[in-house]
Amino acid sequence: MKYILSALIFLFMIPEIKAQNKSLVRKYLEGFGNNSQNLSRPQFLVYPTIGYSPETNTEFGLSGLYLYYVNQDTSNRLSEITARGFYTLENQYGAFVEHALYSDRDKWFFLGNLRYQSFPLSFFGIGANSTLDDEQIVAANQLLIKERVLRRLKRNFYFGLELELNNTSQVSFSKPENFEGENPIVGMNGFTTFSTGIGFVLDSRHNVLNVRDGYFSELAVLGSFDNLGSDYSFGSVISDTRYFKSIRKNQVLALQLLGQFTWGDVPFNQLPQLGGPNLLRGYYQGRFRDNNLMAAQVEYRFLPFPLKFTERIGGAVFASVGTVYDQPHKVDFGKMKGTAGAGLRYLLFPQKDIYVRLDYAFTREGNAFYIYIGEAF
């Protein structure tokens, strides 16, 4: 979940001033992050955003965040709804609404997003051997609707349906001649796909934005069929396992193993991808893509640092490896890509234990800086 919050963080961190001189904006922000608030009360914040990331250049937008416990019962898991509209200096614009919602006693779990975006983005081709010299610009408009509807069957075990609608239109590549003599890029003239499937989830997390102890494991199988509303037929299997353990007070070890496996005619922007703010940070979003993906990452978090004057400031160090490949028997572990980095954390919402992360990541191809609400995984 992306939020570029440099302006908001600055307002939170400026020195205290006398109450009679506080602006309405500062009163609003301080009220949202006040430790004295009732933990069970819903919290809502709307704020302007400005910032920078490798994929967008400078970005301006308006964001909203709504956090609540069903029936104001803190024994239920924390639900969150986020929304954002944005425009960037790369002539990208769009709007996102994302949610992770739990019903009373966590019997139902709804996880999904709705997004519309118009973009040019860099495209480096398909496969782990692509180079920076392969870069070209692809422009398109995309409408994506993705939803999981899961029912708890036993304690932390959920089962349910997964649905995904992807409409990508007005697609243009800056160097289409690069594909002459090769297999055409699936979806390069635009497409609509509708995928359905089932998902199995083990989830013991109480706060999906900052997990201190617990686990999450998802196995999903989806299919898209050209006789059921899609332009292409293909299938996919997703295996995502995460584990979180408090090592010492306010210190958390986080691990993730991810596998994505597809077959059939998979459109170029639905192929498994490495790079971006959550997986192999430091590489451009979608820097490497192919039919199959395997990746792992580890992160050690200080939330906050064990110093008296840093009650709201923490940090993290992280590393990740991963690769993409065409067919199962062609996986080459010698083509693994690796990244490492570190970052700061700022406790934005003390009552909900939610941090802003500022990460700087290093790769063999360059470095990148990110600002987000919530951890990468």
* The pair of three-digit structure tokens given for residue 256, joined into one six-digit string: 């993730």
**Closest by alpha carbon to 281, among 356, 346, 337, 354?**
337
Q: What is the reported pLDDT for 217?
A: 96
- State CA 357 to chain mean position distance: 13
Q: What is the reported pLDDT for 187?
A: 93
Phi/psi of residue 25, each to 5°? -65, -45
* DSSP-H helix ranges across the chain: 6-13, 24-32
Q: What is the reported pLDDT for 12?
A: 45
Q: Which residue has the higher pLDDT, 17 or 157?
A: 157
Q: Could you tell me how many helices (H) and strands (E) the chain has, helices first?
A: 2, 18
Q: Are 314 and 296 in contact (CB under 8 A)?
A: no
Q: Which residues contact 302 (CB under 8 A, 6 or more apart)?
A: 250, 251, 314, 315, 316, 345
Kind plus residue range of the DSSP H or E element containing 366: strand 366-373
Q: Are 374 and 357 in contact (CB under 8 A)?
A: yes
* The pair of three-digit structure tokens given for residue 265, joined into one six-digit string: 């005619």
Q: What is the reported pLDDT for 33?
A: 53
Residue 330 identity: K
Domain 6-373 has CATH 2.40.160.50: yes
How many alpha carbons fall within 13 Å on the CB side of residue 348?
28
DSSP class of residue 364 equals T
- State CA 137 to chain mean position distance: 22
* The pair of three-digit structure tokens given for residue 32, joined into one six-digit string: 């949202």
With H, G, I as helix, E, B as strand and everything else as coil, classify residue 220.
strand
Q: Are 296 and 279 in contact (CB under 8 A)?
A: no
Q: Are 152 and 110 in contact (CB under 8 A)?
A: no
Q: Which residues contact 196 (CB under 8 A, 6 or more apart)?
A: 161, 162, 163, 164, 222, 223
With H, G, I as helix, E, B as strand and everything else as coil, classify residue 37.
coil
Read off the pLDDT of residues 243-298 as tens digits, 9 standing for 90 and up. Answer: 999 999 999 999 999 999 999 999 999 999 999 889 999 999 899 999 999 999 99
Q: What is the reported pLDDT for 37?
A: 60
